[in-house]
Structure 1
Amino acid sequence: MTKIIFYLTVFILLFISKIQAQDSILKDEHSHQSFESQVKLISSKIENITKEEKLALKIEVEAVNVDLENGKITKEEAESKKQKLAETRAKNIENRIGLEQENLKNLVQQKVDGKIAEEYKPNSFAFVFSKSSGKNREKYQRKQDSIANAPEKRTTSQFVLAFGANNLVTNKVVANSDFYYWQSRFFEWGFTENTRIFKNHNVLHLKYGFSVMYNTICPTGNRYFVAAPNNQTNLEIFPYKLEDSRFKNVYLVAPLHLEFDFSGNKSNLGNSSFSSHKGVRFGIGGYGGFRVKSKQKMYYTIDDDKIRIKTKGDFNANDFIYGVSTYLGYKETSLYLKYDLNPLFKNNGVDQNNISLGVRFDFN
């Protein structure tokens, strides 16, 4: 029995010693925390005190309500108990928060007296170091120095998404078009690189990359495209009532724009000292590429039979595409306009050039 008591006493002493050692480490770590971190810690404690006392009051009030329902106390006694409980919890909140406010007051005084060191890592979240972490501190500092001395990042990447209305310009006008305005659409997606041109000014950027363009036009008047033997593509009336007729061309292009970005010169993001896509933007430039495929779709009904015809071919469409484009917007959203300088079809008697107007998104 004596041995058991002895070993138990030794175990308790070792346990208490371990707790004291851990408490010492925590105190030492606390002394290395930044002023901002300690203020946040005290603020969090004050918030938790209010939540704890309110939760305790809620539990106590519910217990009083149970006693009232069971007839153990009268309604007047219940109201009196609730009032006393509320006063007690309010007093607890006042006393506990008062202690934390005193801690905050002492902390501010230590800051004023210069007894608290500046936060070890500026412009980022704080790390807590113990006495045994000197090597980690040095290693961390070397890493921060390498980041600070790294070359400034002048190029960013974006995912581009655009869509809107599409049509053909005939005889230099798009009015009275042979194609529906709202049913004819374009869609574009791609990736771009955005490089700031000047080292010490943010307004001028070069934007380049690649995109996939889908240009669709829907003829009016129950018509569809027919590739004639003379290497021309004509609109002809379909013999049955068309429910839908559309002609789509897909292109792979390389856009190039000169972008004026009025986001401002300074930023705290990363190691770059400049922002992009944070304000008004204006871009002007062009694109060039080649046609991937052409497809025509027609939908009609004969004797309650729904018929769908999909035809693939070149339809004498130009294999290459080049044009001009511009956009104006705020942050990642812009109004987008593009126009093909070469006609859609190679040998037609009248040149018809594709034009698109819609919305463009540049996501960093």
Structure 2
Amino acid sequence: MASGPYMFEGSEELDFSLPPKEQEPVAGYQPDKLISLVRNPSWVADDQDDLRPAYVDAISVEICPGCDQEVAEEKVANDEIDHIFTNGVSAQTARKFSQDPELQDQYFVEPGSGNYYISMNLAVPPFDDIHVRKAVNYAINKEGWRRLSGGEASGEIAGYYTPPGLLGNLLEGYDPYATPNHEGADSPEGLELAKQEMAQSKYDTNKDGICDAPECKGVLSIGVVGRVAEAQHQLIAQNLAAIGIELDVKNFDNSTAYGKIFDPKNHIPFSVFAGWLQDYPDAYTFYFFPMYGPSILDQYNTNYSMVGADPEQLKKYGYEVTEVPGLDEKIEECASKTGDERVQCWAEAEKILMEDVVPIVPLIWSNVEQIISSRVVNYTYCLFDNQMAYEQVAIRPEAQ
């Protein structure tokens, strides 16, 4: 049922007296193919909602798993499509739109409310060893990863997990795995720091800073297809090879990739495309699903690292490891607080996460780069979902 200005095309044909399994799918939603939205006849802007003018009569969204994003971006430049529902654009497209006088007013860099990070499964060797996880943090070339994403416009390099604003900027300057220019193992100092940490691991048998145990070879790493994403994955594999971790790089379309990491029974050791957005402006939204043991689910599990999994959960999902670190008590403590005490508590939780649990490698706190066709007017950004506000934009009359 639609409660706003738009509804799925064909919604008026739904028979709500029937159970969901007996409903005929509406024409406006074809999974993995199409979303077609039309005006909701029960909604009248002047009477019900002065915040959403809803200028356009219909919105058609082509769902294209695994499509080449740069091809879609070129279609926007050529006015073949009006917008791409994504949180960024390729570096090549960012340069094109930001430097071409004909396209500059169709390119926007917006503040984001999310992050990107690498996830390590605490219950799968060699990432069951905190020294391996810390070594990985030192090894990753975050600046190189960001450069492939489009440079500074894509976001701020992250020294920790939760976006700073949600922590009251209390952790300004905090970066427990800092390396020169954020270049990780691609700088001599960063490589040395990573090796020093790896030498403390049980998976470095001769303590030379190289992960040489069998568990360090052929480590499955899940990523997504696309020229930029695959280049970032290769950069990460190169960084980890410098400390002896050999990744078995596998890239899939987004739906398939998420399907693999959503299932805790798959025992995915390493994934390189994780990210999170705030549900509302509170650090709790970054902890409850991705970092809280009781939130681990049989399906659609977003605690990819199995942080806080108890022995029963680990046994249920077939892990040989019987114990992993977590911070459930701290999360529960912070969730019970209000005001400044709450913010301070989340800042403390952040340090526990980054120094005592270490399930991730934070990459960037993301900006959102948006491009639109020349047909679109009244571009407006919605911080809630980090996308163009479709109910605010219009199409130039001459382009209709």
Per the normalisation by structure 2, the TM-score is 0.19
Structure with greater strand share of residues? 1
- Quick one: higher RCO (CA 8 Å, sep 6+), 1 or 2? 2
Per the normalisation by structure 1, the TM-score is 0.20
Q: Which structure has the larger Rg?
A: 1
